[in-house]
């Protein structure tokens, strides 16, 4: 089979559309989580919001039972990826190839530590674009992820019959 032929896909059916109630629950959860992070940032006068947190909301509230959506993946995936970005930025400077190495390394480290959280894969790119200091691992990464997760723990357990998380 040629490479071009592979681009046409397997012809599998699209997944079913989530139920309207699930979509509404994901919307409310995302509103509450990003609102909580934004409010805390405003009150504390700190930067606590990462663009990748919006993508985390898709998983945590839209698909909370997936392995990528579990608290250990969300928290440690974000921390590990931000720290990896900062390590490569510090060691090699703001070069495109260092950003590529940092992102690839963050993906591999998350996989190796069983903390894969796809939205966190963008954190090294964010680090290279903003060039923050090492406090970036704490503010916004860790504290913002913790606020998002606290919101998810409360909201997902109030709004759903099944438990969140599936594991720690």
Q: Tell me, yes or no, whether 81 lies in a domain.
A: yes
C-alpha 23/C-alpha 86 separation (Å) is 36
Residue among 131, 119, 60 nearest 93 (CA):
131
Sign of the alpha-carbon dihedral angle for 137, 116, 74, 167? negative
Q: Which domain, by its residues, includes 38? A: 21-159
Question: Residues near 25 by Cβ (< 8 Å), separated by ≥ 6?
Answer: 61, 159, 160
pLDDT in tens, 9-45: 999 999 999 999 999 999 999 999 999 999 999 888 7
pLDDT in tens, 54-103: 999 999 999 999 999 999 999 999 999 999 999 999 999 999 999 999 99
pLDDT in tens, 41-61: 988 877 778 999 999 999 999
pLDDT in tens, 123-149: 999 999 999 999 999 999 999 999 999
C-alpha 128/C-alpha 115 separation (Å) is 22
Q: Tell me, yes or no, whether 63 lies in a domain.
A: yes
Indicate the SS3 state at residue 160.
coil
Q: 128, 89 in Cβ contact below 8 A?
A: yes
Q: Tell me, yes or no, whether 6 lies in a domain.
A: no
C-alpha 160/C-alpha 49 separation (Å) is 26
* pLDDT attached to residue 32: 98
Q: Tell me, yes or no, whether 37 lies in a domain.
A: yes
Q: Tell me, yes or no, whether 148 lies in a domain.
A: yes
Q: 164, 149 in Cβ contact below 8 A?
A: no
b/e sequence 36-58, b meaning 16+ C-beta within 10 Å: bbeebbeeeeeebbbebbebbbe
Whether omega for the bond prior to residue 150 falls within 30 degrees of 0, making it cis, is no
Q: Tell me, yes or no, whether 73 lies in a domain.
A: yes
Can you give the C-alpha Rg of the chain in angstroms? 17
Question: Rounded to two decimals, what is the model's pTM?
Answer: 0.95
Q: Tell me, yes or no, whether 168 lies in a domain.
A: no
Domain count for the chain, please give it.
Answer: 1
Q: Tell me, yes or no, whether 108 lies in a domain.
A: yes
């Amino acid at each position: 089979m040629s490479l071009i032929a592979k681009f046409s896909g397997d012809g599998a059916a699209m997944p079913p559309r989530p139920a309207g109630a699930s979509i509404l629950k994901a919307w409310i959860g995302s509103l509450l989580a990003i609102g909580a992070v934004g409010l805390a940032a405003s009150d504390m006068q700190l930067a606590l919001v990462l663009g990748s947190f919006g993508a985390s909301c898709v998983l945590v509230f839209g698909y909370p039972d997936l392995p990528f959506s579990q608290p250990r993946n969300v928290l440690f995936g974000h921390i590990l990826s931000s720290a990896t970005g900062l390590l490569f930025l510090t060691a090699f400077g703001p070069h495109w190839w260092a950003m590529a190495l940092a992102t690839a390394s963050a993906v591999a480290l998350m996989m190796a530590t069983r903390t894969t959280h796809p939205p966190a894969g963008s954190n090294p790119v964010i680090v290279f674009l903003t060039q923050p200091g090492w406090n970036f691992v704490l503010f916004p990464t860790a504290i913002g992820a913790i606020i998002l997760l606290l919101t998810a723990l409360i909201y997902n357990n109030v709004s759903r019959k099944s438990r969140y998380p599936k594991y720690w």
